[in-house]
C-alpha cells in the first residue's frame, strides 16, 4: 500500500529548502518534471543521496507530456499513450518504462494496429487493406535498410528517397492513406521531411530485439488513474516535499559569474542558483520561449536545436450517447483531396478498452495538425463530424455530448508533441543539441529529443537520457576529470 501524493501535489509554489551553501538554492536544479526530469532526480537520489536538488515544474503535477483529460466516467490520454516495446524472451533488453508500468500496476492492453482496422474514403466503407499491407511491407523494407546507410555514412537521404529507391510510390488517395498510417502517424511528419537513416534507427532500436530493441508489441494505457500514474508513483518513492517546486515556469537561464554557477529566473521574478542545472524541456521550448544567455545557448547550439524538427501529434476526442461506428480498434479514412485530413480513428467503445463509453478519437499530425491547432474548436468539431458523415453516408451523425482537443503546438510549455529527425540533419548536429553548455559545462540537456537511439517521442528515450545526464552530473560532483570541458561547437 502506498501513501497518496498529497505532500508533493500540495507543496507550495516556492517552498524552498535551506540553501546548501551561499549563494546556492541547491547543488542541482532540474528543469521540468517529465520522464527525463523525474528519472534524473531519482538517479541523483540513488547515486548521490547527500546532494541537494530541486525539481522545477511549471504545472501543478508531474508527468510532462503524460497528460490526461476526463470525459464523464472515463480517462483519456492527451499525450503519450503507449509503451512501445516491452521484452522478448531470450533477449536481455527490457523497456524500463514497461518495468515501471508493471511495478505500479498500470492497466494496459496490446493495440492491434494491423489486425483490427476498417478502411474508408469519402464514399463510405471501402476495402483497401491490401494496400495497407503493401505499405507495411514497404516500411519494413525501408527500416531494414537503415543500418546500411549508417555504415556508409549516407545519412542525408529522406525516407521518401528511401521509398523511391525501393520502388514504392503512393499515387491514389487510398495509397496515400495507407502510407500515412505506417509512417506519418508514427513520426508526426511526412517521409519527405524525415531522415531515412534516423527513422529506421529509432524503430529498430525499439522494436527489433536482434538490434537491441525490446519487442514488437505496443501497450495502450487504459488506466482510469491516468498513464502518468507510473511516473508519479515512482517519484513518490524518493522525492521529499521540499524537493519539488510546482508552478515554477522558467523565464531565463544564465551563468552566475561570481561563483561560476548557474542562475535560473522564474516568471514570478524569483531567482534560483545552483552549481549545475539539467534542462529537460521539450525541443519546442528549446527552439523558442526561454531566454538563454549565449554561454548556455551559443549560436552553433541554437542553430542545431532549430535544425531538428518538433512534430505535432494531436488527438481529437468525441463522446456520443450511443456508438454508431466501426467495431474494430482502428479505422483509416482516405480523403480525396488533402493528405492527412482526419485519417486515423480509434474507438475506445470497444471490448478491449472502455465498452459503453461512447468515446471515439481521431489523430492528425504534421502540417494538418498545425492547422487544426490554430483553428477555433467549433470549426474543428464541424470538420470532424463532416468526415464522419462521409464515412457513414447513411447515418445522421449526432452532436457529441463531449468534445476535447489539446493544443500542444500553441502551449508555451511544450510547443509541439515530440521530436523528429529531418532529412539532412547530421549526427554531429544532434551531438550539439545534446551537449552540455554554460561556461564551464554547468548546464546539461536531456529528453527524448537528445536520444540518438530513441528520439521521436519514445518515453524510454527520455528515461535513458535522464539517467545518462544525472550520471554525468554525479561524476562532476565527485571531481571527475574533464568535467568542465565543453564541446567545441564551432569546430563541428
Percentage of the chain surpassing pLDDT 70?
92
The more confidently predicted of residues 340 and 12 is 340
Question: 252-310 pLDDT, tens per residue?
Answer: 999 887 777 899 999 999 999 999 999 999 999 999 989 999 999 999 999 999 999 99
Domains and CATH numbers, the chain: 6-64+228-308+422-477 (3.50.50.60), 68-224+313-407 (3.90.660.10)
The pLDDT, as a whole number, for residue 5 is 33
The pLDDT, as a whole number, for residue 271 is 96
Task: Indicate if the pLDDT at residue 417 is higher than 80.
Answer: yes
User: In the structure, what pLDDT confidence band is assigned to residue 492 with cuts at 50, 70 and 90?
Assistant: low
Q: Is 175 helix (H, G, I), strand (E, B) or coil?
A: helix
The pLDDT, as a whole number, for residue 488 is 65
Is residue 250 marked as binding? yes
| Dihedral pair phi/psi, residue 141, rounded to 5° | -70, -40
Question: 345-391 pLDDT, tens per residue?
Answer: 999 999 999 999 999 999 999 999 999 999 999 999 999 999 999 99
Element (DSSP H or E) covering residue 300? helix 299-307
Question: 57-70 pLDDT, tens per residue?
Answer: 999 999 999 999 99
Distance CA 154, CA 408 (A): 33
Element (DSSP H or E) covering residue 301? helix 299-307
Task: Indicate if the pLDDT at residue 195 is higher than 60.
Answer: yes
The pLDDT, as a whole number, for residue 178 is 99
Going by C-beta distance under 8 Å and a sequence separation of 6 or more, which residues neighbour residue 478?
Answer: none
Task: Indicate if the pLDDT at residue 425 is higher than 80.
Answer: yes
pTM: 0.93
Q: Which of 7-21, 281-295, 313-327, 473-487 holds the top average pLDDT? A: 313-327
Mean per-residue pLDDT for 438-455? 89
User: In the structure, what pLDDT confidence band is assigned to residue 155 with cuts at 50, 70 and 90?
Assistant: confident
Going by C-beta distance under 8 Å and a sequence separation of 6 or more, which residues neighbour residue 360?
Answer: 317, 318, 319, 320, 325, 345, 346, 347, 348, 349
The pLDDT, as a whole number, for residue 299 is 94
Task: Indicate if the pLDDT at residue 217 is higher than 50.
Answer: yes
Is residue 275 marked as binding? no
Percentage of the chain surpassing pLDDT 90?
86
Q: Is the CB of residue 311 less than 8 Å from the CB of residue 194?
A: no
Task: Indicate if the pLDDT at residue 20 is higher than 60.
Answer: no
The pLDDT, as a whole number, for residue 483 is 76
The more confidently predicted of residues 456 and 161 is 161
Distance CA 358, CA 355 (A): 8
Mean per-residue pLDDT for 131-159? 88
Is residue 321 marked as binding? no
The pLDDT, as a whole number, for residue 482 is 67
The pLDDT, as a whole number, for residue 162 is 95
The more confidently predicted of residues 128 and 482 is 128
The pLDDT, as a whole number, for residue 8 is 40
Task: Indicate if the pLDDT at residue 17 is higher than 60.
Answer: no
> Please, what sign has the CA dihedral across residues 471, 98, 349, 361?
positive
The pLDDT, as a whole number, for residue 260 is 76
- Please report, for the chain, how many H helices and E strands are present, in that order: 16, 22
Burial class (CB in 10 A: 0-12, 13-18, 19+), 158: buried
The pLDDT, as a whole number, for residue 275 is 93
Mean per-residue pLDDT for 7-26? 49
Task: Indicate if the pLDDT at residue 74 is higher than 80.
Answer: yes
The pLDDT, as a whole number, for residue 487 is 65
Q: Is the CB of residue 96 less than 8 Å from the CB of residue 287?
A: no
Mean per-residue pLDDT for 240-256? 94
Q: Is 483 helix (H, G, I), strand (E, B) or coil?
A: coil
Kindly report the average pLDDT of the chain as a whole number.
92
Amino acid at each position: 500500500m502506498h501513501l497518496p501524493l498529497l505532500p508533493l501535489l500540495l507543496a507550495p509554489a516556492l517552498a524552498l529548502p535551506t540553501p546548501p551553501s551561499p549563494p546556492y538554492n541547491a547543488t542541482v536544479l532540474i528543469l521540468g518534471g517529465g520522464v527525463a526530469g523525474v528519472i534524473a532526480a531519482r538517479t541523483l537520489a540513488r547515486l548521490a543521496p547527500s546532494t541537494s536538488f530541486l525539481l522545477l515544474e511549471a504545472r501543478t503535477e508531474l508527468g510532462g507530456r503524460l497528460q490526461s483529460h476526463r470525459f464523464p466516467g472515463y480517462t483519456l490520454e492527451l499525450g503519450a499513450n503507449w509503451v512501445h516495446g516491452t521484452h522478448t524472451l531470450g533477449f536481455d533488453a527490457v523497456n524500463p518504462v514497461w518495468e515501471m508500468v508493471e511495478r505500479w500496476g498500470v492497466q494496459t492492453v496490446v493495440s492491434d494496429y494491423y489486425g483490427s482496422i476498417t478502411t474508408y474514403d469519402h464514399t463510405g466503407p471501402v476495402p483497401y487493406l491490401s494496400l495497407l499491407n503493401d505499405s507495411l511491407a514497404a516500411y519494413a523494407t525501408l527500416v531494414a535498410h537503415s543500418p546500411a546507410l549508417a555504415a556508409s555514412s549516407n545519412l542525408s537521404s529522406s525516407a521518401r528517397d528511401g521509398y523511391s529507391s525501393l520502388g514504392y510510390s503512393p499515387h491514389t488517395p487510398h495509397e496515400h492513406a495507407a502510407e500515412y498510417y505506417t509512417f506519418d502517424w508514427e513520426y508526426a511528419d511526412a517521409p519527405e521531411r524525415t531522415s531515412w537513416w534516423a527513422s529506421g534507427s529509432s524503430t529498430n532500436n525499439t522494436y527489433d530485439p536482434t538490434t537491441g530493441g525490446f519487442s514488437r508489441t505496443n501497450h495502450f494505457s487504459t488506466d482510469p488513474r491516468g498513464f502518468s500514474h507510473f511516473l508519479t508513483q515512482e517519484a513518490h518513492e524518493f522525492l521529499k516535499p521540499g524537493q519539488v517546486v510546482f508552478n515554477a515556469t522558467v523565464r531565463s537561464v544564465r551563468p552566475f559569474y561570481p561563483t561560476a554557477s548557474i542562475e535560473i529566473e522564474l516568471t514570478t521574478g524569483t531567482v534560483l542558483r545552483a552549481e549545475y542545472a539539467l534542462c529537460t524541456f521539450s525541443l519546442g521550448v528549446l527552439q523558442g520561449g526561454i531566454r538563454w544567455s549565449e554561454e548556455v545557448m551559443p549560436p552553433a547550439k541554437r542553430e542545431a536545436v532549430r535544425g531538428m524538427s518538433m512534430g505535432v501529434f494531436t488527438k481529437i476526442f468525441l463522446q456520443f450517447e450511443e456508438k454508431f461506428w466501426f467495431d474494430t480498434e482502428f479505422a483509416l479514412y482516405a480523403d480525396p483531396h488533402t493528405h492527412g485530413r482526419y485519417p486515423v480513428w480509434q474507438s475506445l467503445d470497444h471490448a478491449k478498452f472502455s465498452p459503453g463509453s461512447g468515446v471515439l478519437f481521431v489523430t492528425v499530425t504534421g502540417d494538418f495538425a498545425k492547422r487544426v491547432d490554430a483553428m477555433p474548436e467549433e470549426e474543428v468539431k464541424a470538420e470532424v463530424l463532416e468526415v464522419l458523415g462521409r464515412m457513414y453516408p447513411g447515418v445522421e451523425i449526432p452532436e457529441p455530448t463531449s468534445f476535447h482537443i489539446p493544443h500542444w503546438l500553441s502551449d508555451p510549455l511544450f510547443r509541439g508533441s515530440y521530436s523528429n529527425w529531418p532529412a539532412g540533419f547530421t549526427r554531429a548536429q544532434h551531438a550539439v543539441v545534446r551537449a552540455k553548455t554554460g561556461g564551464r559545462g554547468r548546464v546539461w540537456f536531456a529528453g527524448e529529443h537528445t536520444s540518438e537511439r530513441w528520439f521521436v517521442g519514445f518515453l524510454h528515450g527520455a528515461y535513458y537520457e535522464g539517467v545518462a545526464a544525472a550520471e554525468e552530473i554525479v561524476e562532476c560532483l565527485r571531481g571527475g576529470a574533464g568535467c568542465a570541458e565543453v564541446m567545441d561547437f564551432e569546430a563541428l
